[in-house]
């Protein structure tokens, strides 16, 4: 069910060093505009990233925890279902900048937990 999870940071280098030590492996670092990601790979695919995204409102470390992405059967339909069931749209459907990685949206569930939804289209 989990497609991907992201750990927000406002101190990228410090966080990357921490998670490399914690995971015991080198993380693959990428940059897209002002967004920086250090990815933990499994079977050639990223399953987790430590991310810095200064231009995304509200994106940063918090006591609320990490951002988990759930695999959507149909991203557009699942976002609509979430909103119809009292979720709030935090980030609308957005194309991931890496070719072939699909799309994501972020919602806040009825009690305020942020959840990412991930889909191929």
pLDDT of 104 above 80 = yes
pLDDT, residue 82, reads 94
pLDDT, residue 27, reads 92
What residues have CB less than 8 Å from 33, skipping those under 6 apart? 55, 97
Q: What is the DSSP letter of 56?
A: S
User: Mean pLDDT throughout 58-62?
Assistant: 79
The Cα 18–Cα 70 span in angstroms is 25
pLDDT, residue 86, reads 86
Q: pLDDT above 90 covers what percent of the chain?
A: 37
CB 69 within 8 A of CB 104: yes
Distances (CA, A) of 74 to 47, 78, 97, 105, 118: 20, 6, 20, 12, 9
What would the pLDDT profile of 78-101 be if each residue is shown by its tens digit?
999 999 988 999 999 999 988 888
pLDDT, residue 63, reads 66
The structural domains of the chain, ordered by start, are 5-119 (3.10.180.10)
pLDDT, residue 115, reads 87
First to last CA, the chain: 17
pLDDT, residue 79, reads 94
By the 10 Å C-beta count (0-12 exposed, 13-18 middle, 19+ buried), 91 is classed as middle
What would the pLDDT profile of 33-52 be if each residue is shown by its tens digit?
899 999 988 888 888 898 99
- Cα–Cα–Cα angle for 62, 70, 106, rounded to 5 degrees: 50
């Amino acid at each position: 069910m989990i497609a991907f999870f992201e750990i927000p940071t406002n101190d990228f280098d410090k966080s990357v060093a921490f998670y490399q030590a914690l995971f015991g492996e080198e993380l693959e670092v990428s940059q897209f505009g002002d967004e920086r990601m250090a990815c933990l790979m499994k079977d050639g695919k990223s399953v987790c990233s430590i991310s810095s995204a200064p231009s995304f409102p509200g994106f940063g470390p918090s006591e609320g925890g990490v951002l988990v992405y759930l695999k959507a059967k149909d991203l557009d339909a699942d976002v609509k279902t979430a909103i119809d069931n009292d979720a709030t749209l935090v980030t609308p459907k957005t194309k991931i900048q890496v070719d072939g990685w699909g799309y994501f949206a972020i919602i806040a569930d009825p009690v305020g937990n942020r959840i990412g939804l991930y889909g191929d289209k």
